[in-house]
Amino acid sequence: MDERERSTEDIRQDIAREEENLSRTAQKIGDRIKEKLDWGEYVKDSPYLALGIAAGVGFFAARALQPRRTPMERIIGSLAEEVRGSLDGLHVGAAAPSLAQMTLLGIGTKLAVDWIKNAKASGPNDSVSPLSPAERDSY
């Protein structure tokens, strides 16, 4: 039978067969893709490697998402440490800081923070001038 003499029914059957073949091929490709992307199988095959990768990703994600301290927070932290350090001499042998130490620490920190905020609010032109040598000697 010549190609030109094929009936429309034969052509329809050929098209239906090709559609079915294409559908099966697409299904096989989809199954292979799902199989390759199934991370559960990789975890089953090498659980220690998966655990190590998860720990590494978690570590780097925590480092990347860690909030950064602002310059003001760093300054206030340094001042608080200085005030704490200066109050160590008041320690009378108690295991925990005394009420007087905590009160002085709170007052000192509050004064330092207020001083920094006022200096920042006054602007760069109105900033606090450095102490003269005579003023430094008086302390």
Angle at 83 between CA 129 and CA 91, to 5 degrees: 150
Over 80: is that where the pLDDT of 87 sits?
no
pLDDT at 129: 57
Tell me the pLDDT band of 82, cut-offs 50, 70 and 90: confident
Mean pLDDT of the chain: 79
Q: What's the half-sphere exposure (Cβ side, CA atoms, 13 Å) at 139?
A: 5
Q: At residue 20, does pLDDT exceed 90?
A: yes
Give the domain ranges of the chain. 7-65, 71-130
Q: What pLDDT, on the 0 to 100 scale, is given for residue 128?
A: 52
Asked whether the beta carbons of 30 and 38 are under 8 A apart, the reply is: no
Residues sharing a CB contact under 8 Å with residue 120, sequence separation 6 or more, in sequence order: 72
Q: What angle do CA 106, 131, 136 make, to 5 degrees?
A: 80
* 88 or 17: which leads in pLDDT: 17
Q: 38-58: per-residue pLDDT in tens?
A: 888 888 888 899 899 989 999
pLDDT at 126 over 90: no
Reported as a single tens digit per residue, the pLDDT across 59-68 is: 988 888 888 8
Output the pLDDT for position 133.
Answer: 66
**pLDDT recorded at residue 4:** 63
Most confident of 11-20, 63-72, 111-120: 11-20
Rounded to whole angstroms, the Cα distance separating 84 from 101 reads 9
